[in-house]
Chains A and B, each alone.
Chain A
Amino acid sequence: MDSEAPPLMAGLEIHQQLDTCEKLFCHCPTRLREVKERNGEFTRFLRATESEMGEIDRAALEEMRTIRRFTYYTYDTTCLVEDDEEPPAPLNQEAVAICLTIARCFGMHPVEQVHTMRKIVIDGSNTCGFQRTALVAMGGSLPGGARIETICLEEDAAQRVTDQVFSLDRLGIPLVEITTGPDLRTPEEVQEVAEYIGMVLRSTGKVKRGKGTIRQDINISIPGGARVEIKGVQELELIAEVVRREMERQENLIAIRDELKGRGACVDEDQIDVTSIFKGTKSSILEKAKMVLAVRLKGFSGFVGKEIQPGRRLGSELADYAKRCGVGGIFHTDELPAYGIAAEEVQSVREKAMAGDDDAVVLVAGSAEKARCAAKQVIRRAGMALAGVPEETRRMLEDGSTAYMRPLPGAARMYPETDIFPVSVEKAFWEGIPVPELLIGKAKRFEQEFGLDPPAAYQAATSENLPAFEEAIREGVKPTLAFRVIITAPVELARKGVDVGKVSQADYLAILSAIERGRVAKEAVPDLITAIAGGTPPDQAVASLVTPVSNDELTRIIRKIIGERKEFVAQKGMGALGPLMGLVMQEVRGKVDGKLVSEALRRELERSA
């Protein structure tokens, strides 16, 4: 192999939802919904379109092999565009502007005339059978020197509810797709770059926040391995681990290949019917199955059960392929006898398959059609093990390991979206787009201007509540108070299980205003936030927590005010009630009911007359 090749070549593809008012190609809001809120559903079939070359995209073909009929849920926040029942509206200009803002942050060059394309996707997640996407800018760079190759503006896909059921609320939400060059060299660098890009995106203040709003795909290859794309990593902190585990997996697959070669391993095409062996077996799966097939893997003994990634064996890879046919999994001799399969049954299978000590046997079970399909897939994947690492699209499992998802998509699967006119990016427009202050720069400024310590400044700058924090400071609230109320209190309360997501930026500002006017004490902040999160309107929450003023205190305040305006009171008599009322109310800072104040004031005026 090429000794010059770096130990790791990795790149990132980051998908971030934009926080626009409307979707990318229709005027629906970009709001996610609960499945139970749906107001209708419909079903569709998707067909792969035949390309000029007479080929169907291989990822598309793979999808066609399994699922074809899809159900879609509609909402009162979706329309005929999501249903693929109406031509799309023009490209959302707000989304274009945000996308260009991000492009400026990475020093990119805009495309002069942006064309919307149709990218064929027939896994059901797009009602049209394609995803609309447009290349907006190219050629940017990151501080560490890695390249940002492209930024595309595309529509988000429908959310999968179950296998073949999709929810249309997410379909059409604008996404930016940022693609780096294959320039990242260590697992840590991949994670750092992902963090940096995320920070830049949030700096625009125009991206959605929270789980599922940003998704990272990682492209990885190592020398002698193959390009593998890991889809949909949502947890930033897992990225380095995912990369490490994929490197490990590829190294192990390469080592297995070399050893298999040394043993002269090969894969038979034969599917051996062993259904009769399992008549009366204690394995409920095999007992129920209409057909059990065995595949002999010559020279594979010990390798099928070999761990290639934490919790994953070569057998797991074979099982992933077999599952495409609708079977639950596979059994193999490296792990048998077990699962109710007896030693004698394993022996009978080995004999029927004419398997020697060096050979492994894989069992698949199901209906005749499913079993045959699964056996074929096992043979296919086992054959790939002899070649090393297959090119694949994989999905992340919970701990950072990955499972096979589908083949890497071929390149030729885009054609123009003729329903959308191209959008020109004029030079003056591009140059007029303001570059936002990066959040790391903002944090520095918070340290200097507000005297926040560095972790606090960073926390404020990267908080979801940053807009309210900055607004409060613009209104003259002391930074430390704003920080306490808007930044830290919600985090602490969220830990205690308070649904602070229900508290709006305006609510925080209302709380601050109540404190500033002295209506409530600072100590009441957690109670206020909790009440508002529980659905109490802010003014009601404040009113229920105002510090009471005693009757004695009220009388004292009124006498003081009357004392200071003796002449006026003498002159006006009871006519002074109105003008004085305002003064008293100001003094008690709204903590006493107006009616009580008026009664007390009347009493005191009568007394002094």
Chain B
Amino acid sequence: MTEYRSGDLVRCTGGGREYAATYITERDGKAVVKLDSGYNIGVPFETLSWEGRPEIEPPGLARPFQREDLPELAIISTGGTIASRVDYRTGAVTSQFSAEDILRAIPDLASIGRFRTEQISSILSENMTRRIWQDLARAIFHDLKSGVAGVIVTHGTDTMAYSAAAISFMVETPVPVIFVGSQRSADRPSSDNAMNALCAASAAVSPLGEVAVVMHATTSDDRCAIHRGTRVRKMHTSRRDAFQSMGMPPIGRVDYPDLSVTLSGEAVARGEREPVLREKMEERCGLVSFHPGMDPLVLEAYRGYRGLVLAGTGLGHVSTPWVKGLAELARDGVSVVMTSQCLHGRVCDRVYDTGRDLLAAGVMEGEDMLPEVALVKLMWVLGQADDDREVRALMGENLRGETRGRSTHGL
């Protein structure tokens, strides 16, 4: 049988007719071919005959222009697609990572800054690891040291909030470090990629000085929100405005299409900190969401871990049979932090008996930290400190805006 390659010219016989087509791929035992009309159809392989393999000239693409007088921005990609290109001949969609390709896809970026790019990984964001966080932290730190005006990290949206929190702890930055992605694929004309990227670049040259996530604020293409890296959460599977600041308003906004940036009084200002890299992180940490009737045996899996974050019910509870298990873990040196699956509000284990028993068992209150932020923080804190007292002190301290002393109204 002929080995067909995508792009090969073929003839198909079927329906009493013969027609020319382009071979695309195999799918469920059928040959998928593209007709001249642009449609793909699946046909039996035996109806195909090979016609030839056309020489396709690589497209002669114009070099995008970068203005030397604009601030330099670094784009670091981890695998999230901010720009892509469609080959209408074969229907293939390819992600674009080089500065030139990104500028070609989103030309308006060139009026905000000049760009250098680096790709540190090409993973789906669900495959993110501590190791890649560390690579990312080092790459960002390198750019900070070289004096860029801002850093843009393109990231898949699924775990973007975890990464933004991780970088918040690992890197102290004098300039904006902006995480950005797209909820709707970059190949579609309606994608949020371009607007998010333009707003991210605008935030990256703004007077901000911290790690943030910049994504659509509403379902409309009217503005992006700037979220603090330690207070942001993906709250919808598919909507453009999936990212929400939790327990505080966004620290700023970028209006579109005029790209004006407004920062709130809470935003950390550019230049307030010196670049510092502390990328050490303890990987043996877990996050467990408790549910009614959950077997305490589950906790056995965390023996040998150094940290465990619980997403408890309500004010921060687990069932009575769990208290003993947690006490044993704590006694064995596991730092246990309680957060709430309510996501909104503060943990308080001093109200009910179970809570008081948990505190007695050595469990720390995670205050109003989001469960996944508490996990990332615990990993980082355990990377920095060994002593239980020191760990408790760091976990209780507000380091990067991840916890707030006051729970304000209306949130």
Contacts and interface: CB of A to CB of B under 8 A. Distances in A.
Given A109-B15, A135-B35, A80 B239 contact: yes
A499 B105 CA distance: 53
A118 B188 contact: yes
8 contacts: A52-B86, A113-B42, A115-B39, A117-B38, A130-B189, A135-B35, A422-B28, A422-B42
A143 interface: no
Nearest to B24: A416
Interface in A80-105: 80, 83-87
Contacts of A351: none
A117 B189 contact: no
Interface string B276-303: 0000000000000000000000000000
Contacts of A54: 59-62
B71 interface: no
Contact of A135 (B41, B195, B239): B41
Contacts of A117: 38-40, 91
Interface in A45-95: 45-54, 69, 80, 83-87
Contact of A129 (B92, B189, B237): B189
Q: Which of A69, A139, A152, A416 has the most chain B CB atoms inside 10 A of its CB?
A: A416
B87 A111 contact: no
A15 to B, nearest CB: 16
Interface in B38-56: 38-44
B5 interface: no
B16 A43 contact: no
Interface of A: 42-54, 69, 80, 83-87, 108-109, 111-115, 117-120, 122, 127-130, 133-135, 138-139, 150, 152, 411-416, 418, 422, 424
B219 interface: yes
Given A49-B188, A112-B42, A424 B89 contact: no
A42 B87 contact: no
Contacts of A130: 188-189
Q: Which of A45, A48, A424 has the most chain B CB atoms inside 10 A of its CB?
A: A45
A127 B184 CA distance: 12
Given A54-B61, A127-B190, A129-B189, 9 more contacts: A45-B221, A50-B105, A113-B32, A119-B38, A120-B189, A129-B190, A135-B39, A150-B37, A415-B91
B87 A51 contact: yes
B321 interface: no
Interface of B: 14-17, 27-28, 30, 32, 35-44, 59-62, 85-89, 91-93, 104-105, 184, 187-191, 194-195, 218-222, 237-240, 257
A80 B42 contact: no
Q: Which of A42, A86, A113 has the most chain B CB atoms inside 10 A of its CB?
A: A113
A109 B105 contact: no
B195 A45 contact: yes
Contacts of A112: 30, 41-44
A109 B44 CA distance: 14
B257 A84 contact: no
Contacts of B59: 52-54
Nearest to A53: B59
B15 A139 contact: yes
A288 to B, nearest CB: 29
- 8 closest A-B pairs by beta carbon, nearest first, are A113-B42, A129-B189, A109-B15, A414-B38, A52-B87, A135-B39, A415-B91, A115-B40
A138 B17 contact: yes
A137 to B, nearest CB: 8
Nearest to A81: B238
B238 A49 contact: no
Contacts of B36: 411
B27 A422 contact: yes
B86 A51 contact: yes
Contacts of B194: 47
A118 B92 CA distance: 12
A115 B60 contact: no
B189 A46 contact: yes
Nearest to B57: A53
B1 to A, nearest CB: 18
Contacts of B104: 50
A42 B220 CA distance: 5
Q: Which of B219, B220, B222 has the most chain A CB atoms inside 10 A of its CB?
A: B219
Contacts of B39: 115, 117, 133-135, 150, 152, 414
B37 A49 contact: no
Contact of A84 (B62, B91, B190, B222): B190
Given A43-B220, A45-B221, A85-B219, A109 B190 contact: no
A424 B15 contact: no
Contacts of B92: 415
Given A413-B88, A415-B88, A424 B28 contact: yes
B189 A416 contact: no
Contact of A83 (B14, B37, B85, B219): B219
Nearest to A147: B17
Contacts of A83: 219
A422 B33 CA distance: 13
B139 to A, nearest CB: 28
Contacts of A138: 14-15, 17
A44 B91 contact: no
B238 A52 contact: no
Contact of B238 (A85, A115, A133): A85
Nearest to B41: A111
A44 B28 contact: no
Nearest to B61: A54
